[in-house]
Every structure is written in structure tokens, then in C-alpha cells.
């Protein structure tokens, strides 16, 4: 019976050739795991060197293997390599080509190894490289925020809670909040690298091997701190992928919050920032518009990254030890999350570096919404010895009066204020301006420009070492 006849009406379409084609389609991972070619070849070269040094294969065979693998690397990089779905994955594609190139010696490469430890190794190497790429990108983003903070340590803007004007802060202080967030992401990346820095190569299928291999040698050759300590765990562990997705999700979530702020700040109603033309688009019908598309897309792409985390957690949650084919589903999630995150960080770094800050609009907004009410209450506590709860109440009456007169707190007359509490003196006006309000918040980590500059100095020193 031909394959064609074996197909049935329901399969139809692209699976017209029957069960064999369906199996190939569901089983093959080469479509996405070819991304691991460099790691696969690196791992195989290190493995073959170790096999030769321990006398498991001859030096002669090892040379042929290494030479063949290098040829394959070049073929792939020059797009001359023909990937075959029939050969399932990157490991078998490389091995089959090696046999074409060097003959029987190729068959010795897989001694004391299985695709289970091979894929665990390749993927770990890839994730480790990606963690390092993210670290570099995050450092760039942090540097941009530190620079903007330096320029705007004294630029007053409203601070918000519930997106309602709360108290005046500085834009520099706001920028440094993002430095804290992204620096935590960076430290999560570093922690994750530290934890995953072990080589699974040599765990073989699941139980280790009887060949006298040297796992410490391959671990070292591949840049790992040491080999993993349990062969079962080595082939069934995907924590490094889950950690990458977790770190990526938290970082993406930070980027998304920032994106949301940029969307709000760039509206004509706020007008705090103006995005550069490179990071915004016009409308095809409304000439006045400048849309923050890049920020919106950063916000949206967070959904994809977070989704991949839940996706892989769900793949892993029911798997008995050790390897199950389910685990082949780990790669697309991580590859897509990585590509997405890299782009998100790059877009944000560009956007924040390029955007124009409208200091006038920020300052004007900072003074609205009775943002210095807390300063008035604090003045009553400090100058009149009033208990804070009572000061809060008195201030509430001052806000109500200002509201009824449709003016800001600083525009109330001394008579107005005395009608609320006769202890109030002219001195109170010194705290009612946004500038003085901000200047007074000198507590450690507070928004006073002097304090913000102190934190900038701290981070510059720390990042120089990072
Ligand atoms: N392509 C497979 C994966 O990504 C490689 C490991 C295959 N191992 C096996 N026992 N079938 O997981």
C-alpha cells in the first residue's frame, strides 16, 4: 500500500501522505532546534577530545571527528547545510552529516553519550549565552536611566499613587526607581547563571556510563564550573529554562510598567515626554497624532513572554523522572521569549535615551492636585507641635477651602490659613512650593535632589564593578 493510499479523508491537506508523515511532523524538532547547532558542535568536539584523552577512542578518530564537525559548522554558517526533517533533530542531522564526511569514525562520537545528555547540554549552553546577552543589554538600559536621572535630579514632577497626584517627586528619582528594578533583574540573571553553571554531559541516557569518561574535563572545556552530580536529574532538569523564563517575565513586566508610563506621559493631556520620531508613528488619517507604538508593543509583548513561562511550567509539571519527549517543547518557548525580551530591552533603551522631557509640563502638574498637602501637615507637626492626626485634619480643611476658592494651597492667603488654625504663620509658605517640598525629603532613599544624586553616585560605582 502506498503512503498516499494510507491517508484518509480526514487527515487530508498537508498530511495527505499518511501516518508516517504525521509522525514525522509531530516528532521532528529540527525546525527550531537547529538554532542549537553551534552548541551541539561545541559539545561534540569537547566530548570527542575527552574520549580520546581517556583512551576510549583513538586520537586518529578524534581528529577526523573534530575536523568533520568543523566542516559542518562552516556548512551551516554558510547556509550550505541541508537540514532534514526525517533526521528529526539537530543532533541526528549533525551526526548523519558527519558519517557522510568521515565514514565509520563518526559512529564512535556517540560513545558514552545519549541524546538525552546531549540536548540537556546544548540547551544549557544556549540559555547561558542568552543570560549573558540579557545581562549586557540590561546594563545598557540601566546606564541610560542613570544618565537621564543625572540630567533630571532636580526636575520636579508629580508622584502618583492610584495614578492620582500624591506628592511632588523628581524625574531623576523616578528614573532611579527603574534603575533599582532593572538592577534586580540583572542580579537575578547573575544568580541564575551561578545555579545553572554545571555540565550535564556524561549523564548519558539517565544512569551514567561504564566507560571511564572524565566529566570534569568536559565541564571545564565547555566553560562550566563543574559537572552535575546526579545523572537522573541531569537529563530531566529544565530549571535553567524555567528560570530564564521567570527572570524574563519579571523583567518584561518591569518593561511593561515603564511602557505604560510612557504611553500615559506622552498623551497631550500629560505631555510630560515627547517620543522621538524613531520610536513613534503618525496616524494615516489624523495628522495631529504621534502614537507611542513601540511602548505599546513592549507592553503587549510581555503577554507573550509571561505566557511562555506558564507554558513550560505546565509542560514540566506532570513529568516523571527522567527524560520524556514532552521536554522537546521547552525550546520554542525559550527561543521566542529570548528574542522578544532582547527586542523589548533594545526598544526601551532607545526610547528612554531619545525622549524629550517637558520640564514645564511636569512642574505644572506637580503643583496641581494639592500635592503639597502632606508638607502642610508636616509643617503643622514640626512648627506647632500638633499630633499628626490632627494636622491631617486641619490640612484637609485647608484643601477644602482652596478647592472652594479654586486655587492651589500656596495661593491661599495667610488670613485664609489663619481662619483654619490661628497658629499658622507666614513661614508655612516655604513648604507649600513643590520645589521646597521635594528639597525637604532628605531621608535615605527620598526624593530630595541631593539624595537622588547620592544614589546616582552609588549606582555608578556599583555598576562600574558589575
Ligand atoms: N530532540 C530531542 C529533544 O529536544 C532530543 C532528545 C531526544 N531523546 C530521546 N530519547 N528521544 O528533547
List pLDDT tens digits, range 319-331: 999 999 999 999 9
- 230 sits in the region (left: phi over 0; alpha: psi -120 to 50; else beta) called beta
Pull the grid cell for residue 246.
521567570
From the list 229, 224, 144, the residue with the least C-alpha distance to 178 is: 144
Residue 95 near residue 106 (C-beta atoms within 8 A): yes
Residue 375 near residue 432 (C-beta atoms within 8 A): yes
CA 204–ligand 1 middle distance (angstroms): 12
Mean pLDDT throughout 166-178? Answer: 97
Q: Which of 316, 323, 325, 332 for a ligand 1 pocket mutation test, highest count of atoms within 8 Å of Cβ?
A: 325
pLDDT band, very low/low/confident/very high, at 217 (cuts 50, 70, 90): very high
> What's the whole-model pTM score?
0.92
3-state secondary structure of 356: strand
Taking CB atoms and a 6 Å cutoff, what residues make up the pocket around ligand 1? 29, 33, 89, 115-116, 119, 323, 325, 327-328
More confident site: 277 or 117: 117
Mean pLDDT throughout 388-398? Answer: 95
| Catalytic residue set | 162, 283
Mean pLDDT throughout 174-201? Answer: 98
Of 142-151, 274-283, 300-309, 395-404, which range is least confident? 274-283
Helix axes 239-265, 115-151, angle to 10 degrees: 30
CA 328–ligand 1 middle distance (angstroms): 6
Nearest CA to ligand 1 atom 2: 328
Nearest CA to ligand 1 atom 7: 115
pLDDT band, very low/low/confident/very high, at 225 (cuts 50, 70, 90): very high
- In this prediction, residue 6 carries a pLDDT of 44
Mean pLDDT throughout 423-450? Answer: 93
pLDDT band, very low/low/confident/very high, at 13 (cuts 50, 70, 90): low
Mean pLDDT throughout 97-110? Answer: 98
- The residues that bridge with 165 in the sheet, in sequence order, are 160
Name every residue whose Cβ is closer than 8 Å to that of residue 458 and which is 6 or more positions away in sequence. Answer: none
CA 148–ligand 1 middle distance (angstroms): 48
Q: Which of 84, 88, 116 for a ligand 1 pocket mutation test, highest count of atoms within 8 Å of Cβ?
A: 116
Q: Which range among 256-265, 402-411, 433-442 has the greatest average pLDDT?
A: 256-265
For 103-123, give the secondary structure using H, E and C.
HHHHHHCCCCCCHHHHHHHHH
Residue 244 near residue 330 (C-beta atoms within 8 A): no
- pLDDT over threshold 50, residue 4: no
- pLDDT over threshold 60, residue 5: no
Q: Quickly tell me which residue has 568536559 as its cell.
A: 218
Strands 198-199 and 164-170: unpaired
- Alpha helices per DSSP H over 266-358: 293-316, 330-354
CA 117–ligand 1 middle distance (angstroms): 9
- Report the atom number in ligand 1 closest to the C-alpha of 327: 12
Mean pLDDT throughout 251-258? Answer: 98
Mean pLDDT throughout 139-165? Answer: 97
Name every residue whose Cβ is closer than 8 Å to that of residue 128 and which is 6 or more positions away in sequence. Answer: 193, 196, 197, 223, 240
Name every residue whose Cβ is closer than 8 Å to that of residue 79 and which is 6 or more positions away in sequence. Answer: none
Amino acid at each position: 500500500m502506498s503512503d498516499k493510499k494510507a491517508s484518509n479523508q480526514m487527515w487530508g491537506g498537508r498530511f495527505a501522505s499518511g501516518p508516517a508523515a504525521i509522525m514525522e511532523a509531530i516528532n521532528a524538532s529540527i525546525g527550531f532546534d537547529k538554532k542549537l547547532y553551534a552548541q551541539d558542535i561545541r559539545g561534540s568536539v569537547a566530548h570527542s577530545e575527552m574520549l580520546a584523552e581517556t583512551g576510549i577512542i583513538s586520537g586518529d578518530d578524534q581528529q577526523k571527528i573534530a575536523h568533520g564537525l568543523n566542516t559542518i559548522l562552516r556548512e551551516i554558517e554558510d547556509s550550505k547545510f541541508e537540514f532534514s526533517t526525517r533526521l528529526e533533530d539537530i543532533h541526528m542531522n549533525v551526526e548523519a552529516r558527519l558519517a557522510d564526511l568521515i565514514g565509520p569514525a563518526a559512529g564512535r562520537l556517540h560513545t558514552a553519550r545519549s541524546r538525552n545528555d546531549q540536548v540537556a547540554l546544548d540547551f544549557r549552553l544556549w540559555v547561558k549565552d542568552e543570560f549573558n546577552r540579557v545581562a549586557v543589554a540590561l546594563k545598557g538600559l540601566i546606564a541610560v536611566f542613570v544618565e537621564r536621572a543625572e540630567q533630571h535630579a532636580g526636575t520636579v514632577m508629580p508622584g502618583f499613587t492610584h495614578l492620582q497626584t500624591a506628592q511632588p517627586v523628581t524625574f531623576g528619582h523616578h528614573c532611579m526607581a527603574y534603575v533599582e528594578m532593572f538592577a534586580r533583574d540583572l542580579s537575578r540573571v547573575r544568580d541564575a547563571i551561578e545555579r545553572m553553571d554545571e555540565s550535564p554531559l556524561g549523564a548519558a541516557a539517565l544512569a551514567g556510563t561504564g566507560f571511564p569518561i572524565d566529566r570534569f574535563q568536559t565541564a571545564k572545556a565547555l566553560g562550566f564550573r563543574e559537572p552535575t552530580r546526579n545523572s537522573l536529574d541531569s537529563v530531566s532538569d529544565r530549571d535553567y529554562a524555567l528560570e530564564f523564563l521567570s527572570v524574563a517575565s519579571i523583567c518584561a513586566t518591569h518593561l511593561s510598567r515603564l511602557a505604560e508610563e510612557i504611553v500615559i506621559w506622552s498623551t497631550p493631556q500629560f505631555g510630560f515626554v515627547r517620543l522621538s520620531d524613531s520610536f513613534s508613528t503618525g496616524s494615516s488619517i489624523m495628522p495631529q497624532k504621534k502614537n507611542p507604538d513601540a511602548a505599546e508593543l513592549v507592553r503587549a509583548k510581555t503577554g507573550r513572554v509571561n505566557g511562555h513561562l506558564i507554558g513550560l511550567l505546565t509542560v514540566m509539571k506532570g513529568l516523571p523522572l527522567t527524560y520524556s519527549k514532552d521536554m522537546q517543547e521547552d525550546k520554542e518557548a525559550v527561543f521566542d521569549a529570548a528574542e522578544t525580551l532582547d527586542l523589548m530591552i533594545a526598544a526601551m533603551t532607545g526610547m528612554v535615551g531619545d525622549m524629550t522631557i517637558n520640564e514645564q509640563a511636569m512642574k505644572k502638574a506637580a503643583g496641581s492636585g494639592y500635592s503639597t498637602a502632606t508638607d502642610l501637615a508636616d509643617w503643622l507637626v514640626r512648627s506647632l507641635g500638633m499630633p499628626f492626626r490632627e494636622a491631617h485634619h486641619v490640612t484637609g480643611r485647608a484643601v477644602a477651602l482652596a478647592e472652594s476658592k479654586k486655587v492651589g494651597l500656596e495661593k491661599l492667603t495667610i488670613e485664609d490659613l489663619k481662619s483654619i488654625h490661628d497658629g499658622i504663620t507666614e513661614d508655612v509658605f516655604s513648604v507649600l512650593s513643590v520645589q521646597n517640598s521635594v528639597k525637604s525629603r532628605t531621608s535615605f532613599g527620598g526624593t530630595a535632589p541631593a539624595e537622588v544624586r547620592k544614589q546616582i553616585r552609588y549606582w555608578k560605582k556599583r555598576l562600574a564593578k558589575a
